[in-house]
Structure formats: structure tokens, C-alpha cells
């Protein structure tokens, strides 16, 4: 079956739910990036597990050392510490990777143009988010305007099915769809066991708590510590 959508699958909880949605509604191809982030190998493992779970044939992993070369983010520069002091949504955190999502989307669009797919799905989330500028709805509206003007036939579009949902709602939606949460990985810091302290772990764990359940993955710190 020819793919009609490209799903950006990082391997985290949001992309896991996005993959579950794509499985229900589309014939998806998966795209994953190894951009030298701290937990790249673990994220790729999660990506592969989710792709295997859903039997995805068309999958592409892009490796790039660009973000490490330029630096500027705690996710790609091990000299910068990953914050563990809780979430402050009013500032852009040091884990922001400069203009990262545009790279991911550009690759997905190029591949979509070649495959003839017209949808790109990304699990970007605005509420309860880490305060990254490239996770806001206006950003994706602007990106779609760029696609209308700058692609072969102007038909490819980015879809952000989770963007207005609170993290707890994403958990509930994932549970409804049977998303393979145990296969997903969100920790910014560790690859063996999720730290439970970085922003990403805190957001994820709180979301499962708020949804009235507990996260199926194991953490190095006790629940409630976030």
C-alpha cells in the first residue's frame, strides 16, 4: 500500500500517540532523526519498536551531526546540564534545539513530495509544553503557508492532531487507541532507566498521574518526586 502520510516518530509519548492515530486513519511512513541528542540510541530503539509494533514498511532514519557541530542546546551539547529544577513555561529552556522542528518538517516534506503523500503528522503539543517556540499552533499555520507556496503542487500539509491537547488528554487518547506506551521513551538524560527528573520525564509522569493511571515505563526516582 502506498503511504499517504509521513509521521515524525521520535519515539516519545506524543509521537507514539500520533503513530496510533495514523494507524487508525492512514497508511503511514515513519521518519526518525538521530541528531546526536543525548539519548539518540535509546530513542531510535523506541522508534524501531513502535514501527515494528505497527508493521510499518516505509521508514527512514536520518543521521546528522549538524546540531552537535553548531551547539547551543543541552540536548546536543553534554557540557550544558539538562535542567532538573522543574518547569517554568515562561522561558525557553536550554534544551531548546535551535529551529530543530523545521529540519524535521523539511525532511518529511521532501520525502512526501517524492512518495506522493499529502500529509505530514507531528505530535507537537502546545499546552503543558516545554515552551519551545516551534511547538505553537501559529508556527504550524505559517509552515503550511510555506508549503502552499514552496512545493511542487502546493498540496502537502502538516497536521498537528495533538497540538491543543493537555498531556493528560494525550495519555487518555493513547490508551483509547491502544498506543504502545511501554515501547516509547521520553527521558532527555538517561538511556537505561528514565531519570524522572528532567522536564520531559516530569511532564510525562505528571500526565499519566493526571489521567488517573501510571506510566508503564520504569523511573529511577519515585513517583510523586516531580
Binding interface with a second copy (CB under 8 A): 60, 62, 64, 66-67, 69-72, 92, 96-103, 105-107, 109-111, 113-114, 133-134, 136, 138-139, 142-143, 145-146, 148-152, 154
The nearest distance, CB 71 to a second copy, in angstroms, is 6
Comparison of 45 and 134: residue with beta carbon closer to a second copy? 134
- If the CB atoms of residues 101 and 184 are measured against a second copy, the closer one turns out to be 101
In the complex, what is the shortest distance from the CB of residue 96 to a second copy, in angstroms, rounded to a whole number? Answer: 7
Grid cell, residue 21, equals: 492515530
Q: How far is the CB of 176 from a second copy (least distance, A)?
A: 31
Chain centroid to Cα 139, Å, comes to 16
CB of 137 to a second copy, least distance (A): 10
Q: How far lies 187's CA from each of 80, 109, 132, 177, in Å?
A: 16, 27, 17, 23
Return the bridge partners of 120, or none.
Answer: 6, 158
Q: Which is nearer to a second copy, 146 or 175 (CB)?
A: 146
Q: Which is nearer to a second copy, 85 or 138 (CB)?
A: 138
Q: Which is nearer to a second copy, 31 or 187 (CB)?
A: 31
Cell reading at 35: 541528531
Cα–Cα nearest to 174, from 132, 145, 217, 135: 217
Whose CA is closest to 119, among 194, 33, 31, 198? Answer: 31
Nearest to 127 by CA among 137, 117, 142: 137
- Least distance from C-beta 119 to a second copy, angstroms? 15
Amino acid at each position: 500500500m502506498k503511504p499517504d502520510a509521513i509521521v515524525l516518530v521520535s519515539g516519545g509519548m506524543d509521537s507514539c500517540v500520533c503513530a496510533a492515530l495514523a494507524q487508525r486513519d492512514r497508511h503511514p511512513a515513519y521518519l526518525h532523526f538521530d541528531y546526536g541528542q543525548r539519548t539518540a540510541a535509546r530513542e531510535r530503539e523506541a522508534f524501531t519498536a513502535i514501527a515494528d509494533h505497527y508493521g510499518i514498511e516505509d521508514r527512514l532514519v536520518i543521521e546528522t551531526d549538524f546540531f552537535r557541530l553548531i551547539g547551543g542546546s543541552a540536548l546536543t551539547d553534554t557540557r550544558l546540564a539538562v535542567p532538573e529544577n522543574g518547569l517554568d513555561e515562561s522561558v525557553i529552556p536550554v534544551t531548546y534545539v535551535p529551529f530543530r522542528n523545521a529540519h524535521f518538517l523539511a525532511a518529511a516534506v521532501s520525502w512526501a513530495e517524492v512518495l506522493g503523500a499529502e500529509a505530514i503528522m507531528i505530535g507537537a503539543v502546545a499546552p503543558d509544553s516545554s515552551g519551545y517556540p516551534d511547538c505553537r499552533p501559529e508556527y504550524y499555520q505559517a509552515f503550511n503557508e510555506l508549503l502552499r507556496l514552496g512545493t511542487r503542487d502546493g498540496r502537502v500539509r502538516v497536521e498537528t492532531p495533538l497540538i491543543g491537547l493537555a498531556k493528560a488528554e494525550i495519555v487518555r487518547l493513547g490508551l483509547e487507541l491502544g498506543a504502545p506506551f511501554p515501547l516509547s521513551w521520553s527521558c532527555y538524560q538517561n538511556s537505561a532507566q528514565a531519570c524522572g527528573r528532567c522536564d520531559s520525564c516530569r511532564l510525562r509522569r505528571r500526565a499519566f498521574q493526571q489521567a488517573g493511571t501510571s506510566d508503564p515505563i520504569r523511573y529511577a526516582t519515585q513517583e510523586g518526586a516531580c
